Amino acid sequence: MSGFVSFVSSGPGDPELLTLKAVDRLGRADAVLFDDLSAGPILAHARAGADLVGVGKRAGRPSPRQDHVSRLLVDYARTGARVVRLKSGDSGLFGRLEEELVALRAAGIGYEIIPGVPSAMAAAAAAGIPLTRRETARRVQFVTGHDLTGALPEDMNMAALADPQATTVIFMGKRTFGELARRLTAAGLPPDTPAILAESVSTPAQKLVRGTLATMESLIAAEAADGPALILLGPLAPGA
């Protein structure tokens, strides 16, 4: 007997940003394997009696191994359960979705992927700006600020990231931003390029810190809290 897995994207944290399909799958699940950032009020939509299993990963904290998470998905589904794998933001963005899909395919277990509001879009909305602007920001690029070791990835395309007509959104980049900023400056991105630190977006702990490429490292050190954060760089809209 084989169950079914729904990869449900929970959005940036505000339960009102869940899609109708996400709420439906949570309400019918026998088991919910959730990320840390998908906990709290979002889990109130889970069916009463469902198994709620925390499998989240946070930088610098003890976290379940990815192979253990994938095995849990397979084991629950093999009991015939309807399983929700609840991921923050959109599950296809820096969420280790692929490793879990590979495990399900190898086990012959069916699945679906339900998209959600990406945290980058929620951050721009919270700041009151668009991510694209006619004539000045014709391209948006999403990058991660650290590799598997927690360091800034060595193979980042600095020429692309230093494009002054692109909006760049850096995920998980608080700890490595200083080094990234130095590399971007060396690659030609102007030091006065606008920057926004968007932390705990759409939650009661939301915090927005505005600065520039040159000042953001010190602003992060002085003002950042412990919440999940994005850093936006580029020709951001006036008032940002």
* 13 Cβ contact list (under 8 Å, min separation 6): 37, 40, 42, 88, 200, 201, 202, 203
Describe the strand order of the beta sheet including 194-199 as a list of residue ranges.
139-144, 166-171, 229-233, 194-199, 207-212
Active-site residue, from 35, 90, 163, 174: 35
Q: Please report the sign of the dihedral spanned by the C-alpha atoms of residue 215, residue 235, residue 173, residue 38.
A: positive
The pair phi, psi for residue 83, each rounded to 5°, is -110, 135
**Residues whose CB is less than 8 angstroms from the CB of residue 100 and which lie 6 or more positions away in sequence, other chains included:** 7, 69, 70, 73, 85
**Nearest alpha-carbon partner for 84 in 56, 118, 50:** 50
Is 51 among the residues known to form the active site? no
**Cross-strand bridge partners of residue 117:** none
Tell me, what amino acid is at 92?
Answer: G
- Parallel/antiparallel/unpaired status of strands 139-144 and 166-171: parallel
- Among the listed residues 70, 132, 71, 78, the one whose alpha carbon sits nearest the alpha carbon of residue 97: 70
Active site residue 35: yes
> Looking at 21, 30, 57, 207, which residue is catalytic?
57
Cβ-contact 190, 208 below 8 angstroms: no
Question: Annotated catalytic sites, by residue?
Answer: 35, 57
